[in-house]
Amino acid sequence: MKTGKSTREAFGLALAKVGQEYADIVVLDGDVHNSTRTEHFAKKFPQRFFNVGIAESNLVGAAAGMASSGKRAWLASFAAFVMCNAYDQLRMSVAFPCLDVKVVGTHAGISIGEDGPSQMGIEDVGLACSLPNFTVVVPADEPSMEQAVQALARTKTPAYLRAGRPNVPIIYENGFTFKIGKANQVREGKDLTIVANGLMVAPALEAADQLASQGVQARVLDMHTVKPLDDAAVLAAARETGRIVVAEEHLLHGGLGSAVAMSAARQHPVPMRFVGVNDTFAESGTPEGLLAKYGLTAADILREAQELVGKRK
């Protein structure tokens, strides 16, 4: 797979594009616009961009005020900052009144690397999913991020959009279909299903290739929307493949794995395994080193899949 832009860069470029289409979009940032890449929007539409400084609670409050006045508000900061520091404001000022505020958390997961655990959003998806009325989307690559921004811009309800720091492989060709709440099957398979999102989709496909060389055909689903989850895709995977592995760059509790497990348990229980951050904070290090140390690689997905199908020696 060819490596493309980071999803944070793709987000910034896509936001500047939709700003051209929607004159009522306003963008707010917590003084990290050169990192979240909202700087692309700021340069193009300076009168509609607001830097509130390092004050995430105020960031959310200001966005909620603009949304309540009829604007389409987008706000951005690091995932750990906006979801952890401003959770109460998100709960009471955005989720409760169900305002049109799109919350973008960049530098999510442990792949932020050397910045260390204080800036790693590893619980952000779980926090976002706990907010009533919120849609939660975790794109895998540059094209899907662009499509996600366009799709969310057409909605009028709150949403959380997750973006990462490192460049990621290109999964999709231009012109593919992206629909909020509808998983994309990126590989066919009948022996088990690997469900992933974000930067874990590429390792999931790599693991599926290795499984194929061992005579195991793995279906791979890009579950880019964690909420609302594609229950139909989970049901089909459970019925047709009988086993599910979930891979995510997030704490095992409260993220994609929890959502898929609940869906499967309700509809058609099957044996499952989970790849994610296991109840710990990570260290500072290179993105590659951290992903390897904390078990977020194709080899880790492969191991769990092999255990499910009884292929591991």
Query: What are the structural domains of the chain?
Result: 3-169 (3.40.50.970), 184-308 (3.40.50.920)
Q: Is the pLDDT of residue 247 over 60?
A: yes
Measured between alpha carbons, how far is 219 from 237 in angstroms, rounded to an integer? 8
pLDDT at residue 2, as a whole number:
86
Residue 311 has a pLDDT of 61
Given a cut of 70, is residue 286 above it in pLDDT? yes
Q: Are 259 and 228 in contact (CB under 8 A)?
A: no
Segment holding 244, helix H or strand E? strand 244-251
| 23-82: pLDDT as tens digits | 999 999 999 999 999 999 999 999 999 999 999 999 999 999 999 999 999 999 999 999
| pLDDT over 90 (residue 145) | yes
What does the pLDDT read at residue 312?
54
Beta bridge partners of 204: none
* pLDDT (0 to 100) of residue 175: 76
pLDDT at 166 over 80: yes
pLDDT of residue 108 exceeding 90: yes
Q: Which residues contact 289 (CB under 8 A, 6 or more apart)?
A: none
Which residues are annotated as catalytic?
56
Q: pTM for this structure?
A: 0.96
Q: Please, which pLDDT band fits residue 310 given cuts at 50, 70 and 90?
A: confident
SS3 at position 277 = strand
Both tokens assigned to 223: 């579950």
Helices within the chain (DSSP H only): 7-21, 33-36, 39-44, 56-68, 79-80, 87-89, 124-129, 142-153, 201-212, 231-241, 256-267, 287-293, 298-309
Predicted pLDDT at 265: 98
